[in-house]
Amino acid sequence: MDWELYTCAKEHGVIATSNLLPENQWYHTYAVSGCFGMTQSYVQAVGDLPAPAKFRERLAEAARIFKVKEFYALFAHNPVGRTFTEENQRLGSLMFSVPSKDMRSWVADISVPELLSLYPAKKTTRKVGRSPTWKAPEKKSGTGTE
């Protein structure tokens, strides 16, 4: 998820940093745009808050290179099962979550598919066949008929 967030942010011109945290040897991404900051986190079940961890303190320290943001959100995700098998570790849900100011509850928690469905799809037009190519008339020089 960190890599996906980082590459998506960069692709769309959003400032993002990915820092290696020594506590877990993992790169964590933090993306910012204007007054908005975003990261991602694993949760055990939909609606859960991320578990406190020492590496989150380091992530917070690393994020201080940016001014404190007025709005903060994260992509909370969890697997379909609890055992560490390929089948059970597939993505179960992906939520766009906004924490309360005290970071002890969610003030908004909406699934990414539901969030995307709120935006109309871009309409595209398809041209059938080829468009004609227009040529400018040739100018003849030195013939006296110009």
pLDDT digits (tens, 9 = 90+) for 57-73: 655 665 565 566 788 88
Confidence of residue 141 (pLDDT cuts 50, 70, 90): low
Residue 31: domain span: 2-117
Rounded CA-CA distance 48/55 in Å is 18
**pLDDT of res. 109:** 92
Whether 58 is covered by a domain: the verdict is yes
pLDDT digits (tens, 9 = 90+) for 18-51: 877 777 777 888 898 988 888 888 888 888 888 7
**pLDDT of res. 19:** 79
Rounded CA-CA distance 30/36 in Å is 11
Whether 142 is covered by a domain: the verdict is no
Whether 139 is covered by a domain: the verdict is no
Whether 21 is covered by a domain: the verdict is yes
- Confirm if 98 and 73 have CB atoms less than 8 A apart: yes
The total of structural domains in the chain comes to: 1
Whether 137 is covered by a domain: the verdict is no
- Token reading at 80: 């379909």
What is the Cα gyration radius of the chain? 25
Whether 130 is covered by a domain: the verdict is no
Please tell me the chain's helix, strand, coil percentages from 3-state DSSP, rounded to the nearest 5: 20, 30, 50
Whether 133 is covered by a domain: the verdict is no
Confidence of residue 96 (pLDDT cuts 50, 70, 90): very high
Rounded CA-CA distance 21/18 in Å is 9
Whether 41 is covered by a domain: the verdict is yes
Segments in the chain forming alpha helices (H): 2-11, 54-63, 112-117
Note if the pTM is more than 0.95: no
